[in-house]
Homo-oligomer: A and B are copies of this chain.
């Protein structure tokens, strides 16, 4: 019998598609922080009634990238420097934990997968696709969480990822420089494939530091002139 390995059928509810669309719009910066989401307008644009749209929005509220005020509206979350700082320092600890847990579970599939994802980042970089670059970089980074074999840890990472992606997209958007052409992940990947766990943890922390420092500087700049959504 031929083994088929089917992937799960796609969620065929409008709600699920709406969630995906909205999330993408927010994480790529199409919808700016603070911006209000007008239900009627969006539902008309998507050719969908308000019911599934509202359910989708409720999900994204719980996911932490939208915020809702009864009878006032639902808005894209604002991003403060402290939010970024909190996410940053939390991520540092989580990373160390994830590496520690994933370390003894690394196998050939792990090494294959990390190369595959690294390649995806490099390709997005070559293609000058900044959105995809952020996305793939986070996926590369997420591998240790997927391998750590802890559902709570993984879930926490996935929640955090949404916001990180949003932060980085915002940053990219702002400075409007095309890409950091350099491959900053080379060392990270090499260490994760190596034998020194402590070194991997240390580098993960420092590597993240760099990206975040820029982000923080950017966010602190924002604090001065708070931009209410367009």
Asked whether B151 lies within 8 Å of A70 as measured between CB atoms, the reply is: no
> B55 to A87, Cβ gap below 8 A?
no
Question: Which bracket fits the contact residues of A?
Answer: 20 to 34
When chains A and B are docked, how far (Å) is the Cα of A54 from the Cα of B59?
11
Whether B151 and A86, one on each chain, are in contact in the complex, defined by CB atoms closer than 8 angstroms, is yes
Encode contact with B along A128-169: 1 for CB under 8 Å, 0 otherwise. 000000000000000000000011110110011000000000
Can you name the residue of chain B whose Cβ is closest to the Cβ of A97? B93
Q: Let me know if A90 is at the binding interface, CB within 8 A.
A: yes
19 examples of A-B residue contacts, CB within 8 angstroms: A13-B70, A13-B71, A15-B58, A51-B51, A55-B55, A58-B59, A58-B62, A59-B59, A59-B62, A62-B62, A62-B63, A86-B150, A86-B151, A86-B152, A90-B153, A90-B156, A93-B93, A93-B97, A156-B156
Please name the 7 residue pairs, one residue from A and one from B, whose CB atoms are nearest each other, closest first.
Answer: A62-B62, A90-B152, A58-B58, A86-B150, A86-B152, A55-B58, A86-B151
